[in-house]
Amino acid sequence: MAGSLSEAAKALVDEFKRNRLTELGLEVVESMASQFQTDLDTEVDVRNELRTVSRALEKATKRVLHILQRIHLEAESDEKTTKLGETGMDLIIKDVAPILAQIGEKLPPSEYYKYADFFRFNVIKSVFAIGLSKFLLDGSFATVQFVASILQIPTAETRKSGGIFLEWEEYLEGMIDVGQELARLAKNCVILDNYGLVAKIHSYISTLTFGFSGMNFKNDGLRRRFDSLKYDSRAIEEVVYDLKMQKSAAKSNS
């Protein structure tokens, strides 16, 4: 009889444990589900906010690029190209940089790469606009530190915490865009008889390709784009050579 009671008691204890564990398990699952839903709602809110701000960034960047495209029509005068450079730089500082600050505020800490696709393309275009404007202003090269200072964001090296920053790849892609745009401009300068600007472009792209030639591009797409820039550099060298030959021939005939 005592043995039977012992077995019955043991069975009751086992059943109690199973029920208690089931209850605890449900509590854990419900807590996990609740936290997951909270995290999901937060991510949706962040994505929606970043999408809205990134559209504003795209609009501001397009405005700058549209104005800078006028160089191909106004390259006959250094005064006009300098004015375009001033306008481009002013618009970046006034319209683009404040939007990048908003993006930085909305980015969750340590989650830059998770949301970078929302704004990365237009950051590259902003680098391009700054690099081109800098050339039009004084013919000089926009360093990564200079570009970051205009955009009012840190570089990868000076970044101290979360938020937006200027990646090296973004900088390099933007500057390669500058070189390719100037290669196109050089041909239009010949048509507009601005041979002095052609010489400046030749010097600039030679410096650009020399500076980048020592880099080890791990990004295949970036390496291919740099290779195309080298072809553009050779094309400009041919233009400069033809201009020198024409000038030499004109002196011989005079």
Q: Which residues contact 198 (CB under 8 A, 6 or more apart)?
A: 186, 189, 190, 236, 239, 240, 243
Which DSSP category does 96 fall into? I
Q: How far is CA 32 from CA 41, 46, 74, in A?
A: 14, 21, 63
Q: Which residues pair with 155 in a beta bridge?
A: 166
Which DSSP category does 1 fall into? -
∠ CA 189-193-199, nearest 5°, is 55
Q: What is the DSSP string of 124-150?
A: HHHHHHHHHHHHHHHS----HHHHHHH
Q: How far is CA 211 from CA 143, 155, 179, in A?
A: 11, 19, 12
Is 181 annotated as contributing to ligand binding?
A: yes
The Cα 22–Cα 93 span in angstroms is: 60
Q: Which residues pair with 245 in a beta bridge?
A: none
Provide the CA 44 distance to its chain's centre, in angstroms. 23
- Residue ranges of the annotated binding site for Mg(2+) are 181
- Residue ranges of the annotated binding site are 181
